[in-house]
Chains A and B, each alone.
Chain A
């Protein structure tokens, strides 16, 4: 990102910085909150809220920045280096899929549908990384169960993002 020179640019920079830190905090919070699903990779995905919001109010470039920074810094602070590759790959792929759905389906889909697709592809990316690391394609057999969990968690993050956008960020658009 180039150095902002006007107040709109500064506003964008601070909003992005704020959302990155929101994402990091949510990532740490969700690793403390236990989820009653005994599946590898089944988690709330709250941190995705930050990416969804940036994607909604700015563009995919800013969202990519948030996705990478959030997962990178979040795993540095909490989770460790081995979790980082899952976190970064998951959030980047999820961001890419969400930006495609946002671009081509914005008139039909709300942030709920977009966030559900993000969650599903977040899990798909993580399963793919696991399959590559473990050199074992059988890990894909967890994907259907993970996709169902992703639908539920993606719905919650989508509803949260919808609400947040409605009340807080309407003026930014």
Chain B
């Protein structure tokens, strides 16, 4: 391992940490209000978190498999799925605007939108 190797690794890690910091600071700064679910690149369902009284769970089933999505006032998470690695379950609960849970094998994207400050990155 040469000093150039180390410099390259440090450069990549520094850039990544800066990008993660920027994401947390600017993009995930506000709590969202709406859950948008997309399946295979198309809009599937939309829920307002404020309108969910107690826990609500829905099952999203496609020819690729199923995911069970649990929603409450304070966020959304995937509680069960039949994808091989269950990364969507591991990602836990999200509630900040622009955060998302993605299940690649089932082509499922759950994203939080709405609420918070006046600038919305999605409009760019």
The chain A residues found within 8 Å of chain B, CB to CB, are 38-41, 82-83, 86, 105, 108-110, 112-113, 116-117, 120, 130, 133-136, 138-139, 141-145, 147-148, 150-151, 155, 158-159, 162
Contacts and interface: CB of A to CB of B under 8 A. Distances in A.
A-B pairs with lowest CB-CB distance, top 9? A135-B41, A38-B90, A113-B5, A144-B19, A108-B4, A144-B16, A147-B16, A144-B20, A112-B5
Interface in B83-104: 85, 87, 90-91, 98, 100, 102, 104
A112 B6 CA distance: 9
A109 B107 contact: no
A151 B109 contact: no
Contacts, number: 97
Contact of A116 (B9, B20, B64, B90): B9
B111 interface: yes
Chain B interface size, as a band, is 20 to 34
B111 to A, nearest CB: 7
B54 interface: no
B2 A113 contact: yes
A130 B13 contact: no
Contacts of A147: 12-13, 15-16
A116 B111 CA distance: 31
B68 interface: no
B1 to A, nearest CB: 5
B23 interface: yes
A102 to B, nearest CB: 13
B115 interface: no
B29 interface: no
B116 interface: no
Given A109-B2, A136-B38, A155 B9 contact: yes
B17 interface: yes
B49 interface: no
